[in-house]
């Protein structure tokens, strides 16, 4: 008999980021399709209060690690508080001792521990956070508490690694080897997990969850259109992780390159440019891509600036898709601006700041047009635009078929979670 699922926790969410919000909403849709409409979802987010205001239909709570740091305060090290919490989780059902340890926790952490314990599955949100330039402590705590409670842990579609030698690598290896299922978006991530010693049978490649937002009958457009003026969207972002640490030099080259492309599109093709992204208009979030866009517009010749507009509005994923339908092409630095553009049926020219974007567009046959942010310059951007134009003229039908395949792959993730639970249940009964 199939195990009935009534409650799923989704952790490590960042709903103020429009791309992560698309992942979150898609994950819920994918799991509802597999486990039924009556499943209850609890979401743990790094900025729960603000995220809850933008997404009041979701039950959003403050992430576990923030609660632990608040409890630790200045009295004890956060690592010591985290170890105590893991011990309380491990011994939660031991008579007397479990009650004593739990009773030492503040009421908020006791409620979170009970929430995790009541869940049938803990799903760590998809995205890109298990990479060298992001802190791992909060994610590790989530994984280790889930394991201590004996709950199935699923990492939804991710790009992750490489994992350099460090103290956290040992803990990460321990946690990921015990995860029930790790869904990755690309073969490079699968290789990184193999290098970490994670068993291959626990790792599956699936499309990014946000592709679930594409309509099943998607029929997108080719590029360039015959009408004028062209309507071009450009998604930009701040990027502090250029190799060698020269972020100021790297960003200035990026600004100059995108400005050159925008100017060429306006002057040579009569285009209207709108800077629009998935991370904008939410003052509570750590960054706003509209500010980056303003820096690029400043670099345009004064006589063509009126043809380049900066969209500063916050939009939820469905609203982003609806807006991107209005454009002929999206030049996308944010990967989920690219994915949501594809879901809208709008062609894309990708700028890659992490390998996830490069891997994604190789799948589409657009790898030659991907611009690596670390090697960007004005001439390479113009050449990439020409390559993308040829691709979307000659291969648009194949590209939109690939989007539909990615949608199916995204929904297949729910089946993989179900198979994992069935296999674990069968193993427990043997």
385 pLDDT band, cuts 50/70/90, is: very high
Q: Are residues 113 and 166 in the same domain?
A: yes
Residue located via tokens 């969209």: 311
pTM: 0.96
Average pLDDT over residues 98-122: 96
Residues 244 and 278 in one domain: yes
Residues 6 or more apart in contact with residue 392 via CB below 8 angstroms: 222, 223, 224, 329, 347, 399
Report CA-CA distances (Å) from 318 to 185, 340, 352: 22, 9, 23
Same domain, 55 and 178: yes
In a domain, 242, yes or no: yes
At residue 1, does pLDDT exceed 70?
no
The predicted-structure confidence for 143-165, as pLDDT tens digits, reads as follows 999 999 999 999 999 999 998 77
What is the pLDDT at residue 102? 94
Q: How far apart are CA 219 and CA 175, in angstroms?
A: 42
* Residue 171: inside a domain: yes
Whether residues 201 and 235 share a domain: the answer is: no
Which of 190, 205, 220 represents a domain boundary (last residue)?
205
- Per-residue pLDDT band for 429 (boundaries 50, 70, 90) equals confident
Q: Which helix (H) or strand (E) holds 211?
A: none
Distance in angstroms (rounded) separating the CA atoms of residues 239 and 226: 35
Kindly state whether residues 182 and 326 are assigned to the same domain: no
pLDDT digits (tens, 9 = 90+) for 215-236: 999 999 999 998 889 999 999 9
Asked if the model's pLDDT at residue 430 lies above 90, the reply is no
pLDDT number for residue 2: 59
Sorting pLDDT into bands at 50, 70 and 90, what band is 244? confident
Q: Which residue has the higher pLDDT, 170 or 360?
A: 360
Q: Which domain holds residue 238?
A: 231-404
Residues 195 and 252 in one domain: no
Residues 176 and 312 in one domain: no
103: number of Cβ within 10 Å: 9
What is the number of domains present in the chain?
2
Lowest mean pLDDT among 63-67, 73-77, 271-275, 419-423: 73-77
**295-315 mean pLDDT:** 98
46-55, 148-157, 276-285, 419-428: least confident range: 419-428
73 domain-assigned: yes
Q: What is the pLDDT of residue 412?
A: 98
Q: Are residues 250 and 132 in the same domain?
A: no
In a domain, 79, yes or no: yes
Q: What is the mean pLDDT of the chain?
A: 95
- Distance in angstroms (rounded) separating the CA atoms of residues 44 and 125: 9
Strands 308-310 and 272-275: parallel
- Per-residue pLDDT band at 4 (split at 50, 70, 90): confident
Q: Of 91, 147, 149, whose CA–CA distance to 118 is shortest? A: 149
Please report, for the domain that includes residue 198, its CATH number: 3.40.50
Kindly state whether residues 111 and 197 are assigned to the same domain.
Answer: yes
What average pLDDT does this structure show over 22-45? 98
**Does residue 66 belong to any structural domain of this protein?**
yes
CATH number of the domain to which 285 belongs: 3.40.50.2000
Q: What values do phi and psi take at 110, rounded to 5?
A: -60, -40
Same domain, 176 and 48: yes
Give percent of the chain above pLDDT 70.
Answer: 99
Give the DSSP letter of residue 4. Answer: P
Mean pLDDT of 398-414: 98
Structure tokens at 160: 């992750």
Percent of the chain, pLDDT > 90?
A: 90
Question: Is the domain of 80 the same as that of 126?
Answer: yes
Residue 270 lies in a domain: yes
Same domain, 191 and 258: no
- Would the pLDDT of 246 be above 80? no
**Is residue 424 included in any domain, yes or no?**
no
Determine the pLDDT at residue 165. Answer: 78
Count Cβ neighbours within 10 Å for each residue of 148-158 and write b for 16 or more, e otherwise: bbebbbbbbbb
More confident residue, 371 or 427: 371
**pLDDT surpasses 60 at 254:** yes
Q: Does residue 105 fall inside a structural domain? A: yes
């Amino acid at each position: 008999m199939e195990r009935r699922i009534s409650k799923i926790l989704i952790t490590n969410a960042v709903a103020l980021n429009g791309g992560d919000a698309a992942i979150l909403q898609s994950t819920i849709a994918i799991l509802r399709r597999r486990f039924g409409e009556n499943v209850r979802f609890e979401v743990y987010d790094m900025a729960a209060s603000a995220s809850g205001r933008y997404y009041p239909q979701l039950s959003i709570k403050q992430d576990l690690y923030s609660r632990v740091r608040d409890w630790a305060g200045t009295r004890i090290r956060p690592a010591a508080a985290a170890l105590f919490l893991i011990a309380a989780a491990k011994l939660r059902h031991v008579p007397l001792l479990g009650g004593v340890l739990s009773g030492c926790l503040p009421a908020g952490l006791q409620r979170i521990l009970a929430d995790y314990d009541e869940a049938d599955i803990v799903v760590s949100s998809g995205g890109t956070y298990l990479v060298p330039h992001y802190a791992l402590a909060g994610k590790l705590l989530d994984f280790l508490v889930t394991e201590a409670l004996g709950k199935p842990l699923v990492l939804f579609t991710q790009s992750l690694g490489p994992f350099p030698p460090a103290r956290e690598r040992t803990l990460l290896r321990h946690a990921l080897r015990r995860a029930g299922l790790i869904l990755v978006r690309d073969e490079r991530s699968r290789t990184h997990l193999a290098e970490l010693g994670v068993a291959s049978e626990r790792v599956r490649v699936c499309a990014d969850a946000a592709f679930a937002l594409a309509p099943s009958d998607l029929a997108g457009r080719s590029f360039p259109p015959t009408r004028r003026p062209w309507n071009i969207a450009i998604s930009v972002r701040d990027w502090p992780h250029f190799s060698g640490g020269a972020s100021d030099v790297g960003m200035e080259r990026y600004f100059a390159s995108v400005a050159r492309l925008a100017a060429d599109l306006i002057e040579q093709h009569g285009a209207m440019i709108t800077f629009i992204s998935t991370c904008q208009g939410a003052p509570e979030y750590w960054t706003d891509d509209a500010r980056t866009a303003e820096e690029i517009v400043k670099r345009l010749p004064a006589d063509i600036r009126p043809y380049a507009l900066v969209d500063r509005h916050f939009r939820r994923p469905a609203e982003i898709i609806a807006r991107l339908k209005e454009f002929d092409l999206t030049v996308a630095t944010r990967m989920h601006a690219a994915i949501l553009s594809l879901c809208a049926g709008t062609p894309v020219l990708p700028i890659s700041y992490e390998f996830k974007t490069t891997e994604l567009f190789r799948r589409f046959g657009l790898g030659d047009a991907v611009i690596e942010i670390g090697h960007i310059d004005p001439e390479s951007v113009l050449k990439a635009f020409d390559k993308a134009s040829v691709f979307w003229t000659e291969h648009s039908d194949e590209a939109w078929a690939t989007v539909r395949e990615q949608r199916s792959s995204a929904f297949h993730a729910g089946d993989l979670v179900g198979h994992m639970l069935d296999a674990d249940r069968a193993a427990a009964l043997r």
